[in-house]
Structure 1
Amino acid sequence: MRFSPTFTVIRSGTTQTMAIVGDVDALSVRRKVFALQRAMESYGLTGVDKVSTIGRTLLVDYDPFQWSHASMRSALVALESTISRPGETQPLKHFEWTLYAGEEENDLQLAASAHGITPESFLARVTRRTYLVQDFRMPSMSLELFRRNSPRLKAAQLPQEKARLVSCGTVTLSSDGLCVYNAESLTRDLVIGRIKAECVAPDSASFRVGDRIRFRRQSEASNQ
């Protein structure tokens, strides 16, 4: 059922309801979806088992003995009315993070070879671009960065070794592009470098979808 030109709530099985945000601006859509997720989780509603996002959709899994689709739909519609409209949101932020590279020389060499350049040239390419915070991926807890024509790997170029445990602040490269992990996680991505954990740790960082990120090499940062 559509409640506004940009908000639709539909049933998805007997224990799940979907709220779909529609807008021509993909960035506004993702920001609103995440705002809905945070608001839903902050209430800690009894009987709500899981709240997740996929693209422009918020998925709510609930206990059918405590919620019906109609009651969940009403709750989502009421919640959506409290979310700030695009014109009411705070201005986007710009961040510069120092990139400490070189600890994983083999990964850096693989990433550079995939682009047909040297490791030094690859790092120069990474640090001369400004990236857009595009998404937060769960459960890996990574911050996905996007820029058209930014470095990325083809699926066939990904290493086939076992997943490794990386720490908060690890910057990796995959077929999706650059990611920054904000929690200890397992990954098969190539490790490009690291930033200070407090830049992205959930208890100390403050950024949103649409914010801009720029990396600076350690040597560049020390000269400024």
Structure 2
Amino acid sequence: MVATFSPDGNRLDRLARFLCVGDTAFAIEFGTGIDPVLNARVHRAAALIREAAMAGVVETVPSFRSLLVHYDPLATSAAALREAMGEIDLGEAVVSAPERVWVIPALYGGEAGPDLEEVASATGLSPEEVVSRHAGTLFRVYVQGFLPGFAYLGVLPPELELPRLATPRVRVPPGSVAIAQRMSGIYPVESPGGWRLIGNTPLRLFDAGWTPPTLFAPGDGVRFRPVDAGEHAAIRAAVARGDYAPEQEAGR
């Protein structure tokens, strides 16, 4: 991929606004809300900026709708970078089917998903219907953050949209499959958390020794496959032995 610079086309400065973030960073904001087109523009802009190899750019950090650009003020200036980046032609933002779809085994309910019954009650669905709707959704990895390997997966079916817990848990077990607002996610390690826990996967999502260190990447697809307690335990044992390969579906 090669960055193109042109006064015509979908120039970055016509599709986004630049916001100052201190004296060593600025944000490129493409819009508001959770939208696959906005997210596609964020990641395309990040890729083109990397390809352009602009002097002084230290790092780019994508989010749902914006791109944070860190730079070295001794090597360049925000004004110079914003002028150069503004001329980048992003082309048409195409949200295509993911090239890679991960199939994640998940044990729903019980100790693995202690909030499933409450989610069912709050949505007016049965626990089985909640599982069916969650597992029947092809999620998109929008961005990773909060914890290493924690992917924000969107979007949930509207009937499953619920706020975060009023009081977050002090400890959430690793592998917990959770939902909050319009998103789903998997806690890669034990941590505090305020999302509603509906299941658990025995897979590992992050390992500092992997290259790259995370299982998912932005733009990947994720689908959950319900399993029973026996299969969950068997997969956990295989993961511990290092002889389990996560399933994938054919992408586009």
Using a 3 Å threshold, how does the CA distance of structure 1 residues 40 and 196 change in structure 2: closer, same or farther?
Answer: farther
Pick the aligned partner of 2:121 from 103, 106, 113. 113
- Per-residue deviation at 1:6? 4.1
Q: In the alignment, what sits opposite 1:65?
A: 74
Q: 1:61 to 1:166 in 2, by over 3 A?
A: farther
Which of 5, 14, 36 aligns to 1:27? It is 36
Contact 1:136 1:142 in 2 (8 A): yes
Gap runs ≥5 in structure 1: none
Paired residues of 1:97 and 1:214 also in contact (CA < 8 A): yes
How far off its partner does 1:68 sit?
0.7
C-alpha distance in structure 2 between counterparts of 1:95 and 1:47, whole Å: 33
Partner Cα distance (1:190, 1:137) in 2: 18
For residues 184 and 214 of structure 1, the distance between their equivalents in structure 2, rounded to whole angstroms, comes to 22
Shift of 1:104: 3.9
Query: Taking every aligned residue pair, what percent have the same amino acid on both sides?
Result: 20
- CA 1:90 to 1:132, structure 2 compared with 1: closer, same or farther past 3 Å? closer
Aligned residue in 1 for 2:192 = 186
Q: List per-residue Cα deviations over 1:25-57 (Å, max 9, x = no partner).
A: x524413423544676897x8673x63334432
Q: Please name the residue that 1:208 is paired with.
A: 218
TM-score by length of 1: 0.67
> C-alpha displacement at 1:151, in angstroms?
1.4
Q: What secondary structure sits across from 1:114 in the alignment?
A: helix
Q: 1:7 aligns with which of 9, 12, 15?
A: 12
Give the structure 1 partner of residue 130 of structure 2: 122
Q: 1:71 to 1:193 in 2, by over 3 A?
A: same
CA distance in 2, matches of 1:207, 1:54: 13
Question: Aligned letter for 1:142?
Answer: A
Unaligned runs of 5+ in 2: 1-5, 232-252
Q: Is the 8 A contact 1:111 1:173 kept in 2?
A: no
Give the whole-Å Cα distance in 2 for the aligned partners of 1:38 and 1:5.
15
Instruction: Give the alignment of 1:1-224 within 5 angstroms.
Output: 4-8=9-13, 10=18, 12=20, 15=23, 16-21=25-30, 26-37=35-46, 48=58, 51-73=60-82, 76=85, 92-101=99-108, 102-104=110-112, 106-127=114-135, 129-133=136-140, 135-140=142-147, 141-154=150-163, 158-167=165-174, 169-182=175-188, 184-198=190-204, 203=213, 205-209=215-219, 211-219=220-228
The verdict on how the C-alpha distance between 1:73 and 1:147 changes in structure 2, with shifts beyond 3 A counting, is same
The structure where strand makes up a greater share of residues is: 1
Cα distance in 1 for partners of 2:128, 2:157 equals 21
Q: Which amino acid aligns with 1:190?
A: R
TM-score under structure 2 length normalisation: 0.61
**For residues 40-99 of structure 1, what are the alpha-carbon distances to aligned partners after superposition, in whole Å with 9 as ceiling and x for unaligned?**
6897x8673x63334432122334333312343366469x57x89767x89633332211
